[in-house]
Structure 1
Amino acid sequence: MQSLVLRLSRWRQSDLAWSFGRSPEAVASALLLIVYGVLALGAPWLAPQNPFDLAAVELMDARLPPAWLEAGQLKYLLGTDGQGRDLVSVMLYGLRMSLLVGLASTLLAMLIGVTLGLVAGYMGGWVDNLIMRAADVQLSFPAILVALLVDGLSRTLLPSALQQQLSLPIVVLAIALATWVQYARTVRGVTMVEKNKDYVNAARLIGMGRARILARHVLPNVLSPVLVIATLSIGLAVLTEATLSFLGLGVPATSPSLGTLIRLGNEVLFSGEWWITVMPGLLLIGLVLAINLFGDWLRDALNPRLK
């Protein structure tokens, strides 16, 4: 308990905490992200209705407008979708799925990129050339195109029975393989600088292995830029997943994300049921905006050139 209090005291006295308190955008975005996290984690308890329970869904209530419009009902605050599901409940579960995919794909991309960047920067030679040329080739393609390619290949190679079961891991893998390059390039540059410093040379002299040097000495020095990239990449991953789902290639309809809800609403947009696509779209915009604002503050706060 005392150690926790001591850590909190040190945090309050740190430059990062001072910068956070001086930035209204950082405070507002952090609070909004906390709200989003609570809504996503508490979806099973906060949602007025279980949208996946067929017994709780009334088909006669399909496409009802929000409660403040004519023909709206108070129990459906934001209206219902084409299947009669409460839109608030569906959005909470969709937010949960979008955040899950965004966080999982970002962590996987970070793992791949940091590992390859450390190896390329420390080893040099043909290993560095091979990894960086592969990264250069991938940079010539948009991230969404790479994700579409990976997703399409998986659907072609896997049996149809497995496609539905593995759709979520496939989407996570597709987004991760489309976004690992920025981690690898950043980590490689920092590693090339760190590997020639005295503390790394001293570790070599005492017989420490390459893997241990990278894990214990080089890796801690690359975490700051990696953390900034990861924070900004979560928003990109959420948008990429939403795009894939909008195109019908993302998570299955049985576990819809915000992108899936926008696609389903877009099908009836011109018939007047605008709330089915607009409400999830506004929720997605708020999520990505909060992530980007927080990431921008973190990038500026951790940049020594701006201090």
Structure 2
Amino acid sequence: MSSLFFMSFLDLNIVYFQVRLGVLANMFLLVFYIFIILGHRSKPMDLISCQLTFVHIMMFLAGENFWLANILESLNVENNFKCKATFYTKRVMRGLSICITCLLSVLQAVTISHRNSLLAKFKNRLKKYIITVLFYIWFFNFSFSTNLIFYVGGFTNMSETNQLKVTNSCSLFPINYIIRGLILTVTTSRDMFLVGVMLTTSTYMVIILCRHQRQCKHLHSISHLRASPEKRVTQTILLLVVFFVVMYWVDFIISSTSILLWMYDPVIMIVQKIVVNAYPTITPLIQISSDKRITNVMKKLQS
């Protein structure tokens, strides 16, 4: 009884607060980036951040008892299709979130790299083909998650089916242990590769920042480094990457344990939902507080 009360408290209070705060912050940021892009004053980083913001909004709206599920329910769509659509959308958006965050990290590492470094040779090329790269990222994730359509469906509440309940109305169908391990291995390999790229580029950026710090101390002009927009953007992306990696590992441990052991615990699933929502909730707040263009606009509105 106490665990059910605890689960309801977490779901109704923390999760709903995350969703409302996350949607509002991401919507504000999305409108800002759209105005910047339409005003032809954008940078490649703005286009990527705009995509990431949209992905995070969709992650929230595709959640259970929210926009996508409510629309399908109002159209009298059967629970099986609703489950497949919402679960597939959430998994695609999760994959896009990790891919675009990785791309942000790579682009910033290339941007601040020294002109004589190996990465500097890709600077103009990466900026030139950024739209093409984003297109392939979206195409890859839509294709990558198609296998989920066959293994997920509406929860029938029949114990003999041996379904793994993942939400109140959605479950994973019984999967052969070998296929289950194969899906988990492929998904983990993709995520590990992207997390590895993020950690590598983050380490590279930290090295560059430390090197610039020492140079500025030597030149007695450390105030110039503190005011550098590039350093500010780099620190923001480093913070986002570190936060993402921490949240990813917590989510990975919970989800992989549930799938391998074929175990469902309502409290653990709510905790996982809070962990998954943490990154798209905190990300826009970090971006808003660190982007001088937004703070300048806010100051003008207040004056």
Same fold per TM (> 0.5)? no
Structure number with the higher helix fraction is: 2
Bigger radius of gyration among the two:
1
Provide the TM-score with structure 1 as the length reference.
0.30
